[in-house]
Amino acid sequence: MWTVNAKDARIPALGFGTFTLPPDDCHRMVKAALREGYRHVDTAQIYENEEAVGTGIRDSGIGRSDLWVTTKVWVSNFRDGDLQRSVDESLRKLAMDHVDLLLLHWPNPEVDLAETLGALASVKQAGKARHVGISNFTVDLIRRATELSPEPLVTNQVEYHPLLNQDPVLEACRAQGMALTAYSPVAQGKVLGEPVLARIAEAHGKTPAQVALRWLVQQEGVCAIPRSRSEDHAKANLEIFDFELSADDMRAIKGLQRPDGRQIAPEGLAPQWDS
């Protein structure tokens, strides 16, 4: 498994995402994914499946020290005190004494960012998170967060796939020595019917989904966290490290980006996105 270096973190380049997975499916898929070779699992407080993630990890038989586990703090828990208590609850559900990465799930303009980042840093300083970071932050918010955070921020987790241009955010992350973690890496399935991906996939003996994931992790500083309810699909998603896209392939896939490519922008949570 490749890793992405960000500050002092070594993040497995491909992780297993658990967004929208109900507990039974989550337990089954986390267990199966880890047995197939994944070593990076992503969850969040709002997903309501942290307990299932923890059980799936334990039932996989893979040692905790061999894994990278990420969870995310929900926006209602961003005040000092609330954030720390919510992390204790997450750790209780996961049955762990720490996570490898703790993220702020979305920006919350209702709470002073310095207060939230101070609380986030205190969790790391207490040994309950090895690393901290952010999610769904724009270029301006990345700049503000890195200036205000008492601890290094190692990633910004955002929607990223061949239909969505994230060049400004990716450049901002690189400038700060941060990784970019791509969620919804196949645009909720919308990339799979693209003829360009089908052509490149056929040339490499791969699927369009595998090509889309390879396009992401082949970029400097980018991780991806595909989610699946299918054990076969999860296994296939892992099989992207035995081929390489050419420069022409990379450019052709980037050419799929379009103004309406964003899939996830929940009202009341989404910031003013970078254009």
Residues assigned a catalytic role: 47
Which residues are paired to 181 by β-bridges?
157, 223
What gap in Å lies between CA 258 and CA 32, rounded to an integer? 35
Is 105 assigned a ligand-binding role in the annotation? yes
Give the distance, in angstroms, between the CA of residue 12 and the centroid of all CA atoms in the same chain: 11
248: Cβ–Cβ under 8 A, 6 or more apart, which residues? none
Alpha helices in 65-127 (DSSP H): 82-94, 113-125
**Distance separating alpha carbons of residues 82 and 80, to the nearest angstrom:** 6
**Nearest CA among 161, 162, 167, 111 for reference residue 138:** 167
Q: How far is CA 218 from CA 21, 114, 203, 257, in A?
A: 27, 34, 17, 17
> What pairing do the DSSP bridges indicate for beta strands 9-12 and 3-6?
antiparallel
Q: Give the DSSP letter of residue 163.
A: T
DSSP helix/strand/coil, 103 = strand
The neighbouring-strand residues paired with 183 are: 159
Confirm if 25 and 49 have CB atoms less than 8 A apart: no
CB atoms under 10 Å from CB of 175, counted, come to 12
Binding residues: 105
Residue ranges of the binding site for substrate = 105
